[in-house]
Structure formats: structure tokens, C-alpha cells
Chain A
């Protein structure tokens, strides 16, 4: 199935460090969404981006919609243990509906 290229696949960091992950696509998207998934649960929406170049923050999280409309990144500042989980990017074409997901970035935070 179709997937976005998300990197890195996994990260092991120390508490307090900043984290950066990104997604790239060969297709243009109208919307970029970032989700976090904990074991045994569904993905939780973190940030939604709707315009090329848009930079949006949600607490310690910051995400940007790439100018080319083919990429997006997510930064987490001053990581804490509860940031542990799998982060997914998702792109959506004009018209809404179907989301195309990245493979996920598994984040581990050492206290």
C-alpha cells in the first residue's frame, strides 16, 4: 500500500533533549497531520497543517507544512518520559477523506 517516507524509524534520546522527525512524499498534499500512538490505543491527533509554509505549535510540539507541499516535520522540545510512543505523519489530498500514513517514528526517552 501507499506510504509516506518518514524518518527516522526510531530514536533513543535522553530526557530534556529536543527531537525532530520528518516526512516526505512524491505527491502533493493539501493537509498534513501528525499523530501519536501509544501501545494498544488508536492514534491521537497532535497537530493539523493546512497551508504550505504553515508553522503550528501545540505546547512543546511544533510542526511545519513544507513549501513544496511534499514534506512536513515535527519537533518536540525538552522531551519528557511521557513523550514515548510512535509518531505518525499523514497526508491528505484535496477533497478530504483518505489519509496516507508514514511508517512511524518510535520514540524512546531515557529519564
Chain B
């Protein structure tokens, strides 16, 4: 079974631009979560989607948004990029949404904002 895939793997953008990152979950997985990883803050939760609905949201500004499609694929968008948005953005999928679920991560998208 193929793992979580993320595209693109690397991205360089300029301040003020916007960016869209894509995530395809493991086949059969319906929940997708997004995380930001930086050296200073570590791994921080952005948001979670299940059945095309945002279920949880982390403490990030409104410039960070996401969506999920009917095939469970997800995208996240960051508008008006700032230098501090440079990070590894990780997507994780899980098979079910219950009281406890295992999350499997993709390789991430390395975003550099100049």
C-alpha cells in the first residue's frame, strides 16, 4: 500500500506570495492532518480534516487555510507569505476518527520564503 504523498517536495517563494501544498493520504484513510515543523517551535498542529470538514484547528493565523476533497486528498494554502513561514510542512493521514488514531506522515514539503 502506498504511503502518504506530498507535492511538491521543495518550494521557494517570495514574501507576499501565496502557496498551495498538496497531500494524498494512504488509500482508505479519511482523516488528514497538517503540521508545521521548524527548528524553533518543533512540530505544531495546523488543522485536521475528515469527510471534507475541518474538525480541529491549531493556533495559526487565518493566512493558513486548508480543504479536503471527496477523495480525501487535501490541500493547504498560505497567503501573504512571511519569512517566518519557512518550514517543513507535514501531512499525516489516519484510517479512522475515533478516540485514538494512529497518524502516518508523508515526507513533507520544504517551503523557503525569501
Q: Complex: how many Å from CA A12 to CA B33?
A: 33
Q: How many A-B residue pairs have CB under 8 A?
A: 77
Complex A-B, nearest 5 residue pairs according to Cβ-Cβ distance, in ascending order? A42-B105, A101-B43, A31-B100, A1-B44, A96-B101
In the complex, whether B42 has a CB less than 8 A from a CB of chain A is yes
Task: Name the B residues within 8 Å of A96 (CB-CB).
Answer: 31, 94, 96-101
In the complex, whether B81 has a CB less than 8 A from a CB of chain A is no
Nearest B residue to A50 via CB reads B100
Q: Complex: how many Å from CA A35 to CA B103?
A: 10
Which A residues fall within an 8 A CB radius of B? Answer: 1, 3, 30-31, 33, 35, 40-45, 48, 50, 88, 90, 92, 94-104
Which B residues fall within an 8 A CB radius of A? Answer: 4, 31, 33, 35, 41-45, 48, 55-56, 58-59, 90, 92, 94, 96-108, 110
Known: A42-B105, A45-B104. A98 touches B4 (CB 8 A): no
Q: Complex: how many Å from CA A84 to CA B31?
A: 30
Known: A3-B42, A42-B4. A97 touches B55 (CB 8 A): yes
Q: Complex: how many Å from CA A48 to CA B95?
A: 14
The answer on a CB contact under 8 Å between B31 and A97 is yes
The answer on a CB contact under 8 Å between A97 and B48 is yes
Of the A-B pairs whose beta carbons lie under 8 Å apart in the complex, a sample of 5, sorted by A's number, is A1-B59, A42-B105, A48-B100, A48-B102, A98-B58
Nearest A residue to B99 via CB reads A94
Q: Complex: how many Å from CA A92 to CA B31?
A: 15
Q: Complex: how many Å from CA A42 to CA B110?
A: 11
Nearest B residue to A100 via CB reads B45
Contact among B44, B97, B102, B107 for A42, CB-based, below 8 A: B107
Task: Name the A residues within 8 Å of B43 (CB-CB).
Answer: 43, 88, 90, 99, 101
